[in-house]
């Protein structure tokens, strides 16, 4: 039964995820441009980019890179499917981790110095955000009583009422997960980075297109994690959740445009400190009070 | 009964035969035949005894007395062995501990236990079946692997010193004797007997670690024996306690009494837990397992995956129903296990020696198992048993891979494993499979960790949740960067794996197959082996992850395995291009670029080791100190309430 | 197949320019001209780029670099020589080490003169390059169908 529901969820997410993610990415670029006093590209620009990438020559530095990316993409879809079909939150977090691992290994496999440095930094980023993610899941469970996301529709009050501290901590690491400045150390969306494009330096054409689509889907999934904190048995709460998601997304863009990149030391220490304080405190309060 | 007896006797026969045989060919045949026999016996054993409920067997009562004498004799032989070695190498601490054990053993046998009946009961439950399968299949697989490995090892020895004696008969004899001792530990109910087997494993690993007889090996072997003798003494004291208070020496009865009247057995439980912690190499005793790395790789594989350390956690898991109701030992085990997990995962980041990384990861995972056992709920025990299973198969695969790689690339440094994917394509894939099984969904270890997290959350154990969250993040870091090193592909592949021994391939294939099968059939394994044990031990079953989710994970595991063995490295229609070297490449395949004055410079990159944050020198003293304080406090507490019992 | 023209990603390489043209190239990205309106992005990575924008003349040292960057770009691709030095060597054409314009190293599709080249001219040049990109993409697609 779980499997059938999940498969339906995966199919739905495979269709809706890229569409919503693409629009979100387009919105991101327009808003960023406006913040910089520019007009910015059309809303569908990310779509054009990806269509172009898929039409380019198919080339790769080795025989494995494309396979790693393909499977990373598949596992992102599975993670999204699990989450949006109301499945287990932890399972979806673990599958996203698997997907980011394959992404990292794809970069390592190219053996390009720039990719390798990018991959090493991406590994560090994963280590930085992971504790907070786990604690966010635990806090969500303690606040709602469910690891299954579908459980939120039976709540009398949304999880945010008791897990707000962990939610704030999650927002902090979300910046790392979205690879926004000040934490875009493994790969930047902007040119002239010291490690070229970091992780994706050697990925080109269709492979890069797949990476882009994967990031759209990931972003939608992360926004889903944000939304689940604001939903309860009242159907109108979905509207609230959408509003909150948009606000959070705007906040991330604002942070991206207003902060200079930090060194990894600061990223690791601050993310772990946030996890310990926000996550740990919230979990402790929920466990003992 | 015949099955149980043959499991114990067959390895002993193998050990004796191998000790006598000097010929390579004959040794190969006999070792492989016996390994296969042991594996088949353990599978037959599993087929017969799997499922809920326990089975008890006993020999006729008149066997009791002679067996008790045999037991004492083995016990004393072990101690005297240690005494001899300690005298020869002038190690007063080991000498003292061994002498203490002899005195206590004699006093216990002839004063405390005089006239008491020696029970010959064997008790088989689902956990026993799991352990027998691990020891029988993984353990004997490692013995087969050792055949090829030790040939290379001997050749290397002879290269260095043409007069070097061939000590392989001795090596293989100990390996098989080890298996027999392990079967004893997991199957007997009589604690005095279990103690003897416990000491035999200590001695066997002492001999295996010191096998090369280099100064470092001897030092590390003595560190191991001192730490484990400490545990042995604690084990012995708890036996004495039971004897003095007239409690039966039956383990099952002990657990029953313990869960009903925790205060009555608080001290022996704490002491037994301490013994388990020493054997499971928890901080501050983790140094013996790190030191064990000087031994030939099959030894490390055996110690880490299927024997020795698993004896420690087996004991703790068995005791977990008592931990569930007894606060002091539970807190001690939980904290030591949790701290060890987090801190050893941190320290693994700073290591570049593959075997040390594996050692730290072993210690960390044992810490997690220990913590689960300490929590003592059915769900936590479910997770602990799964951790034991997956750790055994994945870690043995990894050790064997590292051993083979070491002999073919001449290094066990992870930085030198660059390009292994091309130089040893099959081996690298096995290694990647093993690594992924250790830390990432949808493979077994992570599923078990998931269950661990849920059980910690359910018991509201905040400290453990936080330790697990941070420890897991560190785990990701050190495995991912190793995986990355392995995966690199560039230039002309020069395949160096053609000279790997057939027996090594056989063992590697077996382990890789086990990893795949256990990961994919996890749901079946859970309902067939693990849940029945939990039900028997706790009277109600517990499984924190629904079967549906387990099956989703299993399907994903199939996908990843497909990717590794069918998806990677296939030639496709894609155009091959060079990597980007800022447009200045001199020889792209060799990663050289034109540097200043147009001289070719090689682009190199090392992994991050973050020594300033996660270095051993920073973390180990803190962890060891805290763990010592915790253990001393717990034992003192348990001893302090003793007078009120009298 | 029209997507090439909607998302032309650029890599900018300074061969041996006096930096005058480089500043103008970057000016085109700034709010005043904002070429991102047309989907143009400066990638800094030949593997991601469609249009190779070179400023400055080619000399003995950098000819290999220009060629390698061009080789690492994936089809379809176009080259824009920005500024008179990139077109012909400009005032440096008879320097001892200068080989001449970019076309001494790689095939150039669009020549954009100027010293320094004005942003409007750069944008015009890129727009022409986009047309060439589209043609190349069409040819590629037909070849694919034929094969």
Residue A21 has pLDDT above 90, yes or no: yes
CB contact under 8 A, B583 and C47: no
pLDDT tens digit sequence for A229-238: 999 998 899 9
CB contact under 8 A, C39 and A56: no
The pLDDT of residue A94 is 92
- C47 contacts on B by Cβ (under 8 Å): 577, 580
pLDDT tens digit sequence for B69-108: 888 899 899 999 899 999 999 889 888 999 998 898 888 8
The pLDDT of residue A50 is 94
Tokens of A46: 């990310």
By C-alpha distance, the chain A residue nearest B573 is A58
CB contact under 8 A, C72 and B584: no
Of the residues B459, B482, B487, B576, the best mutation for testing chain A's interface (the one with the most A CB atoms within 10 Å of its CB) is B487
Give whole-number Cα distances, B232 to A182, B114, B421, in Å.
54, 21, 44
Nearest Cα residue to A93 out of B372, B450, B548 = B450
The CA distance from A178 to A269, in Å, is 18
Is C6 near chain B, with CB under 8 Å? no
Q: Determine the average pLDDT of the residues in B524-530.
A: 85
Distance of CA A242 to the CA centre of its chain: 17
The CA distance from B398 to B387, in Å, is 16
Phi, psi of A115 (to 5 degrees): -65, -40
Nearest Cα residue to A287 out of A188, A151, A139, A173 = A139
The pLDDT of residue B496 is 67
| Surface of B (510-549) touching A: CB under 8 A | 545-549
pLDDT tens digit sequence for B27-60: 889 999 999 999 999 999 988 888 777 888 887 8
- Name the burial class of residue C96, with classes exposed (0-12), middle (13-18) and buried (19+) by CB atoms within 10 angstroms of its CB: exposed
Min Cα–Cα distance to chain C from A7, Å = 33
Residue C68 has pLDDT above 70, yes or no: yes
Phi, psi of B310 (to 5 degrees): -70, -25
CB contact at 8 A, B183 and B132 = yes
Give whole-number Cα distances, A180 to A126, A189, A255, B102, B325, in Å.
14, 8, 8, 66, 49
pLDDT band, very low/low/confident/very high, at B490 (cuts 50, 70, 90) = low
CB contact under 8 A, A58 and B581: no
Place of tokens 């002239």: A192
- Chain mean pLDDT for chain A: 90
Give whole-number Cα distances, B24 to B37, B151, B152, B266, B505, in Å.
20, 9, 12, 52, 18
Tokens of B81: 């062995």
Tokens of A149: 């996301």
By C-alpha distance, the chain B residue nearest A6 is B552
| Surface of A (31-70) touching C: CB under 8 A | 33, 36-42, 45, 48-49, 51-52, 55-57, 59
Min Cα–Cα distance to chain C from A17, Å = 22
Nearest Cα residue to B82 out of B278, B224, B292, B295 = B224
B neighbour chains, 3+ CB pairs within 8 Å: A, C
The CA distance from B351 to B414, in Å, is 9
Residue B419 has pLDDT above 80, yes or no: no
Cis peptide bond prior to B442, omega within 30° of 0: yes
The pLDDT of residue B568 is 75
Helix (H, G, I), strand (E, B) or coil at B397: helix
Least CB–CB distance from A197: residue in C4, C39, C45: C45
- Chain mean pLDDT for chain B: 86
Least CB–CB distance from B585: residue in C13, C45, C68: C68
Helix (H, G, I), strand (E, B) or coil at A242: helix
Is C72 near chain B, with CB under 8 Å? yes
The CA distance from B381 to B376, in Å, is 6
Residue with the larger pLDDT of the pair B486 and A229: A229
The CA distance from B599 to B146, in Å, is 47
Give whole-number Cα distances, A199 to A214, B53, B475, C70, in Å.
14, 53, 21, 21
CB contact under 8 A, C65 and B578: no
Q: Which of A100-104, B159-163, C25-29, C103-107 has the lowest mean pLDDT?
A: B159-163
The CA distance from B2 to B5, in Å, is 5
Instruction: Report all structural domains of chain C as residue ranges with CATH numbers, in order of start.
Output: 3-146 (3.40.50.12280)
Where exactly are the structural domains of chain B?
1-58+121-190, 59-118+194-279, 321-568+606-646
Is A88 near chain C, with CB under 8 Å? no
The CA distance from B368 to B452, in Å, is 8
The pLDDT of residue B641 is 83
Residue B376 has pLDDT above 90, yes or no: no
- B585 contacts on C by Cβ (under 8 Å): 68
Least CB–CB distance from A39: residue in C7, C37, C75: C37
What residues are paired with B594 via a beta bridge? Answer: B600
The CA distance from B590 to B607, in Å, is 19
The pLDDT of residue B503 is 82
If one counts every other C-beta atom within 10 angstroms of the C-beta of residue B548, the result is 17
pLDDT tens digit sequence for C16-57: 889 999 999 888 888 888 888 888 888 888 999 999 999 999
Nearest Cα residue to C107 out of C139, C77, C141 = C77
- A107 contacts on B by Cβ (under 8 Å): 484
Using DSSP, how many helices (H) and how many strands (E) does chain C show?
5, 7
CB contact under 8 A, B580 and A120: no
Tokens of B604: 């190199």
Of the residues B573, B583, B596, the best mutation for testing chain C's interface (the one with the most C CB atoms within 10 Å of its CB) is B583
Least CB–CB distance from C45: residue in B578, B580, B598: B580
Residue B492 has pLDDT above 60, yes or no: no
Min Cα–Cα distance to chain B from A134, Å = 6
The pLDDT of residue C69 is 92
- A198 contacts on B by Cβ (under 8 Å): none
The CA distance from A2 to A288, in Å, is 33
The pLDDT of residue B572 is 67
pLDDT tens digit sequence for B290-312: 888 888 888 888 888 888 889 99
What residues are paired with C51 via a beta bridge? Answer: C10, C78
Min Cα–Cα distance to chain A from C19, Å = 16
A neighbour chains, 3+ CB pairs within 8 Å: B, C
- B580 contacts on C by Cβ (under 8 Å): 45-47, 72
Helix (H, G, I), strand (E, B) or coil at C13: strand
Q: Fill in the DSSP letter of residue B246.
A: T
The pLDDT of residue C144 is 78
The CA distance from C77 to A163, in Å, is 52
Q: Determine the average pLDDT of the residues in A131-149.
A: 91
Helix (H, G, I), strand (E, B) or coil at B57: strand
Q: Residue B50: CA atoms inside 13 Å, Cβ hemisphere, count?
A: 18
DSSP assignment of B136-155: IIIIHHHHHHHHHHHHHHHH
Residues 6+ apart with CB under 8 A from B9: B180
CB contact under 8 A, B605 and A284: no
By C-alpha distance, the chain B residue nearest A284 is B462
The pLDDT of residue A15 is 94
The pLDDT of residue B347 is 92
Is B484 near chain A, with CB under 8 Å? yes
Residue A68 has pLDDT above 70, yes or no: yes
- C13 contacts on B by Cβ (under 8 Å): 583
The CA distance from B305 to B327, in Å, is 30
The pLDDT of residue A191 is 60
DSSP assignment of A97-155: HHHHHHHHHHHHHHT-HHHHHHHHHHHHHHHHHHHHHHHHHHHHHHHHS-SBGGGGGG-
């Amino acid at each position: 039964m779980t499997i059938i529901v999940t498969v339906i969820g995966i199919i739905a997410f495979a269709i809706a995820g890229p569409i919503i993610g693409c629009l979100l990415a387009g919105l991101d670029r327009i808003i960023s441009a406006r913040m910089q006093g520019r007009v910015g590209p059309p809303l569908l620009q990310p779509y054009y980019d990806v269509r172009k990438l898929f039409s380019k020559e198919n080339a790769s530095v080795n025989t494995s890179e494309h396979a790693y990316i393909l499977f990373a993409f598949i596992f992102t879809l599975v993670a999204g499917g699990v989450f949006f079909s109301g499945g287990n939150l932890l399972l979806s977090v673990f599958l996203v981790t698997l997907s980011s691992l394959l992404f990292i290994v794809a970069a390592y496999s190219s053996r390009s110095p720039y990719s390798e440095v990018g991959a090493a930094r991406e590994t560090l980023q994963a280590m930085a955000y992971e504790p907070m993610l786990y604690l966010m899941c635990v806090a969500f469970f303690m606040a709602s009583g469910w690891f299954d996301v579908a459980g939120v529709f039976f709540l009398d009050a949304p999880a945010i009422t008791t897990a707000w501290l962990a939610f704030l901590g999650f927002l902090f690491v979300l910046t790392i997960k979205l690879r926004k400045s000040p934490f875009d150390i493994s790969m930047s969306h902007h040119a002239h980075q010291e490690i070229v494009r970091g992780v994706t330096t050697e990925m080109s054409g269709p492979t890069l297109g797949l990476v882009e689509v994967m990031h759209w889907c990931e972003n939608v999934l992360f926004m889903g994690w944000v939304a689940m904190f604001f939903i309860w048995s009242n159907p109108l709460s979905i509207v609230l959740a959408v509003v909150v998601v948009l606000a959070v997304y705007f906040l991330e863009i604002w942070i991206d445009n207003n902060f200079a990149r930090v060194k990894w030391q600061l990223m690791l220490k601050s993310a772990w400190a946030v996890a310990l304080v926000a996550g740990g405190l919230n979990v402790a309060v929920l466990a003992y009070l | 009964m015949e099955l149980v007896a043959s499991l114990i006797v067959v390895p002993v026969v193998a050990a004796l035969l191998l000790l006598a045989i000097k010929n390579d060919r004959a040794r190969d045949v006999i070792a492989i035949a016996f390994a296969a026999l042991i594996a088949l016996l353990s599978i037959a054993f599993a087929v017969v005894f799997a499922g809920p409920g326990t089975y008890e067997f006993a020999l006729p009562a008149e066997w009791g007395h002679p067996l008790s004498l045999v037991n004492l004799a083995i016990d004393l032989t072990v101690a005297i062995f240690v005494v001899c070695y300690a005298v020869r190498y002038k190690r007063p601490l080991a000498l003292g501990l061994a002498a203490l054990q002899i005195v206590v053993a004699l006093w216990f046998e002839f004063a405390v236990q005089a006239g008491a009946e020696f029970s010959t009961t064997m008790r088989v439950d689902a956990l026993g079946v799991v352990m027998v399968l691990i020891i029988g299949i993984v353990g004997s697989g490692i013995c087969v692997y050792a055949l090829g490995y030790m040939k290379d090892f001997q050749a290397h020895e002879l290269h260095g010193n043409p007069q070097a004696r061939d000590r392989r008969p001795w090596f293989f004899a100990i390996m098989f004797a080890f298996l027999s001792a392990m079967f004893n530990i997991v199957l007997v109910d009589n604690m005095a007997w279990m103690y003897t087997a416990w000491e035999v494993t200590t001695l066997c690993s002492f001999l295996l670690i010191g096998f090369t007889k280099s100064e470092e090996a001897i030092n590390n072997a003595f560190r191991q024996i001192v730490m484990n003798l400490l545990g042995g003494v604690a084990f012995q004291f708890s036996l004495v306690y039971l004897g003095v208070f007239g409690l039966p020496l039956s383990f099952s009865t002990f657990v029953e009494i313990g869960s009903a009247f925790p205060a009555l057995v608080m001290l022996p439980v704490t002491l037994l837990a301490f013994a388990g912690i020493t054997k499971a190499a928890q901080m501050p005793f983790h140094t013996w397992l790190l030191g064990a790395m000087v031994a030939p790789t099959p030894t490390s594989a055996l110690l880490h995956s299927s024997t020795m350390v698993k004896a420690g956690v087996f004991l703790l898991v068995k005791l977990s129903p008592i931990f569930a109701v007894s606060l002091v030992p539970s807190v001690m085990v939980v904290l030591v296990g949790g701290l060890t997990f987090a801190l050893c995962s941190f320290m693994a980041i700073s290591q570049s020696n593959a075997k040390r990384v594996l050692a730290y990861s072993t210690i960390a995972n044992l810490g997690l198992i220990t913590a689960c056992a300490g929590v003592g709920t059915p769900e936590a025990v479910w997770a602990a048993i799964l951790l034991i299973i997956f750790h055994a198969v994945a870690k043995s695969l990894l050790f064997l891979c590292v051993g083979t790689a070491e002999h073919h690339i001449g290094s066990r440094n992870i930085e030198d494993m660059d390009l292994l994917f091309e130089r040893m394509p099959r081996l690298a894939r096995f290694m990647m499979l093993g690594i992924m099984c250790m830390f990432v969904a949808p493979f077994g270890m992570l599923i078990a960790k998931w269950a661990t997290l849920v059980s910690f959350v359910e018991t509201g154990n905040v400290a453990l949740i936080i330790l697990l969250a941070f420890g897991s993040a560190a785990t990701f870091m050190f495995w991912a960067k190793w995986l990355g090193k392995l995966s690199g592909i560039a230039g002309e592949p020069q395949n160096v794996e053609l000279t790997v021994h057939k027996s090594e391939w056989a063992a590697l294939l077996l382990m890789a197959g086990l990893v795949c099968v256990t990961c994919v059939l996890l749901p079946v394994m859970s309902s067939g082996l693990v849940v029945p044990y939990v039900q028997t031990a706790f009277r109600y079953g517990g499984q924190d992850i629904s079967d549906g989710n387990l099956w989703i994970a299993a399907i994903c595991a199939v996908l990843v395995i497909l990717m590794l063995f069918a998806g990677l490295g296939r030639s496709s229609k894609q155009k091959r291009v060079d990597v980007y070297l800022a447009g200045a490449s001199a020889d792209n395949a060799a990663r050289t670029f034109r540097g200043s004055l147009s001289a070719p410079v090689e682009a190199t990159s090392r992994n991050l080791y973050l020594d300033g944050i996660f270095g051993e020198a920073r973390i180990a003293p803190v962890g060891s100190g805290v763990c010592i304080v915790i253990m001393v406090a717990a034992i003192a507490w348990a001893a302090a309430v003793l007078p009120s019992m009298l | 197949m029209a997507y090439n023209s909607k998302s032309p990603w650029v890599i900018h390489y300074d061969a041996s320019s006096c930096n005058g043209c480089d500043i103008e190239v970057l000016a085109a990205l700034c709010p005043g001209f904002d070429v991102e309106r047309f989907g143009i992005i400066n990638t800094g990575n030949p593997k991601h780029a469609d249009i190779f924008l070179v400023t400055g003349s080619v000399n003995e040292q950098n000819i290999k670099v220009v060629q390698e960057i061009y080789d690492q770009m994936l089809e379809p691709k176009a080259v824009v020589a920005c500024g008179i030095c990139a077109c012909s060597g400009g005032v440096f054409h008879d320097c001892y080490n200068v080989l001449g314009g970019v076309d001494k190293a790689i095939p150039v599709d669009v020549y954009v003169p100027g010293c320094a080249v004005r942003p409007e001219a750069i944008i015009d040049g890129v727009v022409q390059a986009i047309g060439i990109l589209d043609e190349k993409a069409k040819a590629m697609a037909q070849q694919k169908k034929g094969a």
